[in-house]
Amino acid sequence: MLPLIYHPIYSDFPLPEEHRYPLQKYRLLKEHIDKQCWPVEYHLPSSIDWQLLCEQHAPEYVTALINGTLPLVKMRRIGFPWSEALIRRSLTSLGGTLLTVDKALEHGCAVHLTGGYHHSHFDFGSGFCLFNDLFLAARHALTKPDIERVMIIDCDVHHGDGTATLAADHNDIITFSVHCDKNFPSRKPSSDMDLPLPRNTDDADYLSQFIPAVTLAVHQYQPDMIIYDAGVDIHIDDELGYFSVSQGGIRKRDDAVMALCKDHQIPVASVIGGGYRTDQSTLIPLHAELVRSALSIFHSHQTE
Judged by beta carbon, residue 228 or residue 298, the one nearer Zn ion is 228
21-51 burial: b if 16+ Cβ within 10 Å, else e: ebbbbbbbbbebbeeeebebeebebebbebe
Q: Among residue numbers 5 through 24, which ones bind Zn ion (CB under 5 A)? A: none
β-pairing verdict for 2-5 and 109-112:
parallel
- Which residue number, 3 or 160, has a Cβ lying nearer to Zn ion? 160
Query: Is 158 near Zn ion (CB under 5 A)?
Result: yes
Contact 262, 108 (CB under 8 A): yes
Q: Per-residue string for binding with Zn ion, 71-100, x by CB under 5 A?
A: ------------------------------
Q: Which of 156, 161, 194, 229 binds Zn ion (CB under 5 A)?
A: 156
Give whichever of 162 and 267 is closer to Zn ion, judged by the CB atom. 162
**242 C-beta neighbours (distance < 10 Å), count:** 18
233 contacts Zn ion (rule: CB under 5 A):
yes
Cβ count within 10 A of residue 194: 19
Query: At closest approach, how far in Å is the CB of 233 from Zn ion?
Result: 4
Nearer residue to Zn ion within complex by CB, 156 or 192:
156
CB-based contacts of 92: which residues, under 8 Å, 6+ apart?
A: 7, 9, 10, 45, 46, 47
Length of the chain: 304
In the complex, the smallest distance separating the C-beta of residue 81 from Zn ion, rounded to whole angstroms, is 20
User: Judged by CB, which is closer to Zn ion: 3, or 231?
Assistant: 231
Ranked by CB distance to Zn ion, the top (closest) residue is 274
Shortest Cβ distance from residue 159 to Zn ion (Å)? 9
Name residues whose C-beta falls within 8 Å of residue 248's C-beta, 6 or more positions apart in sequence: 203
Smallest separation, CB 183 to Zn ion (Å): 8
Q: What minimum distance in Å lies between the beta carbon of 127 and Zn ion? A: 7
Instruction: For the CB of residue 1, give the shortest distance to Zn ion in the complex, in Å.
Output: 29
| # chain residues binding Zn ion, by CB under 5 A | 5
3-class SS at 43?
strand
Single-letter residue type at 65: L
Residues 239-278 that bind Zn ion (CB under 5 A): 274
Nearer Cβ to Zn ion (89/159) = 159
- Pairing mode, if any, of strands 150-154 and 109-112? unpaired
Single-letter amino acid code for the residue at 269 = A
DSSP-derived letter for residue 47 is: P
Which distant-in-sequence residues (6+ apart) come within 8 Å of 278 by Cβ? 20, 239
In the complex with Zn ion, which residue's Cβ is closer, 194 or 233?
A: 233
Q: Which stretch binds Zn ion (CB under 5 A): 31-39, 56-64, 223-231, 287-295?
A: 223-231
The span of 73-81, 130-138, 149-157, 191-199 binding Zn ion (CB under 5 A) equals: 149-157
* Residues lying near Zn ion in the complex (CB under 5 A): 156, 158, 231, 233, 274
